[in-house]
Chain A
Amino acid sequence: MRKLILYFLIYIFFCLIQFFFSQYLNSFRIFPNFILVCVVCIGFIKGSFNAQLVGFLFGLTWDIFSTDVFATRALLFTILGYLSGKLNRKFDIINTFFQCVIVFLANIVYDLGLYLINCIIIQDFKDTLTFKNISNIFTTTIVTPFVFYVLRRVLKGI
C-alpha cells in the first residue's frame, strides 16, 4: 500500500512539473523531459516491471494532453522503461556520468521514435527534428543527476 501511494505521489509530482510548471518555467519552449528521466531512473532502481508500468501511465497521460498520435508516448516510455530495467544490472547507477549518458541516449531514442511514428502514421506530417529537440535533450541531461538523486532517496525505502 505504501508503495502504491508513493508511486502515485511520484506520478502526480512529475505530471505537475511536466504539464503545469513547464508552461511557466520554459525558456523559448525548451524544458527538460522530467518524465523520461523519471522512467529511466525507476527502471534502474526498481527494474523493468515497475518502470514499464510507470512509463505506460506517464505516456498515456501525456498522450491525452497532446494532439499527436495517441499512445505514441505510452509506447516509447514503456519500451524505455523496460530497456532501462534490463540494463540496470550491467551499469552502476550511482555514477553521474553514466546516468547522463543513458538519459541522453534514451532521449535521442525517444525523440527519434516520436518523429518516426508521426512520420509513418500522419500522412502530411511536416515537423522536423530542430534545435528545440537538441536543446531539450541537453537540458534533460543536465537535470538528470538531480532527479536520480531525489528518486533514489525516495525509492530507497520501498
Chain B
Amino acid sequence: MSLYKKSRYENIVFIVLILICFIFIGGRFFVTINCIKHFIYYIAYPNLSAADNILKFSGNFANNIESLISLHQDNISYKQKNQELIDKLRNYELITHEYESLLKLFKLDKVDNTKSVYARIVVREPSLWYQSFIIDKGSDDGLYNELPVAVFNKTKNALYAMGTIVETYKNSSKVALITNSESILPVEIKNKGINCLVEGFDSCLVKVTYIPLNVDVKPGDELVVSNLSSIFNYGIPVGVIRGIVQEPYMDFQTATAEVFFDMVSSNIAIVLVPSEQKQ
C-alpha cells in the first residue's frame, strides 16, 4: 500500500545529500570544520573531553584566536597608557604655562637644562688608570675645559660623577678623574648635610677630608656632590664611605671612600654641558 506520489527529484536530491554528507565527512580532515563541530558539541554538552577536542583540533586556528585576543588586550592597555600620557602631558603643559606666567610676573630669567654629550672613551693608559682618559668629543662638539663628566649606571639607573675636562682639542678631550691625586671635589654626606672634600690619590679609593669631629659618620654613608661645587650639579652621587680615621690631635676626621663609577666597564662618558644662556 502506497500513500504517496513518487517525486521526480528524489534521485537527484539523494545524490546531492550523499555528496553533502561526504563533504562533511571529508571536513574531518579540515581543522576549522572539526573545531566548529566540537565547539557546537561543547555548547550542547559542556565537558572536559569536548573542550580538549576543541583545543586538539583547533591548532593554528586557536593560536590565531589567542593572538587576536592578546592583541586586543594589548590594544586596551596601550589605550589606557596613552590616556595616562595624554593626561600627564596636559598637566605638564599647565605647569609650563604657570611657570612661564610666574617668570613674567617676577621678571626672572628662565633656567635651562643641561645638555648631555655622549662621548666614547678612546684612550685609557694603564699607568694613568685612575688619573685620566681621552674621549672622542672635543671643541667641535661644543666641549670646553672644566666641564663635568659623568657616567651612567644602567643597573642603578643613576648618573655618577666621574671627572672634569682638563684639556680640549678639536675632536678629543682629556678628562681628569675624581680619583686623580690633583682632583678635589666638594661633597656632602647624604641625608646628613655635612660638607667635606673628596681628594683622589690615584687609586679606586678616594680620601674624604675635612669631616668635623663631632659628627656621626659611618661606613656605608653615601657621598653626593655638594652645593659648593662650581662644576657639578648638586646631588650627583660620588661614592660610599668605607672607613673612618680619627686622630686625636687633628681638628677633622678623615675617611676613605669607594667611588661609584667603575673604570673597568665604563666605555661611554657623559659630558654635562650647560646651555648657552647659562654659559
Contacts from A to B (Cβ < 8 Å): 45-50, 52-53, 56, 59, 63-67, 69-72, 74-75, 78-79, 82, 85, 88-89, 92-94, 117, 121, 155-156
Give bound CA distance, A70 to B24, whole Å.
Answer: 6
Interface presence of B109 (CB below 8 A): no
Report which of A47, A74, A75, A89 forms a contact with B10, defined as CB distance below 8 A: A47
Please give me the residue from chain A that is nearest to B44 by CB atom.
Answer: A65
Interface string of B20-39 (1 = CB under 8 A from A): 11111101100001100110
Q: Is the CB of B25 within 8 A of A92?
A: no
Q: Given A64-B37, A70-B24, A70-B25, are A53 and B13 neighbors across the interface (CB < 8 Å)?
A: yes
Q: Which residues of B contact A94 (CB under 8 A)?
A: 1
Q: Which residues of A contact B60 (CB under 8 A)?
A: none
Q: Is the CB of A74 within 8 A of B2?
A: no
Q: Given A52-B17, A64-B37, A79-B18, are A45 and B24 neighbors across the interface (CB < 8 Å)?
A: no
Interface presence of B250 (CB below 8 A): no
Q: Is the CB of A155 within 8 A of B18?
A: no
Given contacts A52-B10, A67-B53, 5 further A-B contacts (CB under 8 A): A45-B3, A46-B3, A53-B17, A78-B14, A89-B2
Please give me the residue from chain B that is nearest to A79 by CB atom.
Answer: B18
A152 to chain B, nearest CB (A): 8
Q: Is the interface of A mostly helix, strand, loop or mixed?
A: helix
The 6 closest A-B pairs by CB, nearest first: A71-B24, A75-B21, A49-B7, A49-B10, A47-B4, A48-B10
Size category, B interface: 20 to 34
Please give me the residue from chain A that is nearest to B43 by CB atom.
Answer: A64
Report which of B1, B5, B27 forms a contact with A70, defined as CB distance below 8 A: B27
Q: Is the CB of B3 within 8 A of A156?
A: yes
Interface presence of B122 (CB below 8 A): no
Q: Which residues of B contact A78 (CB under 8 A)?
A: 14, 17-18, 21
Q: Is the CB of B3 within 8 A of A85?
A: no
Give bound CA distance, A153 to B24, whole Å.
Answer: 35
Q: Is the CB of A74 within 8 A of B21?
A: yes
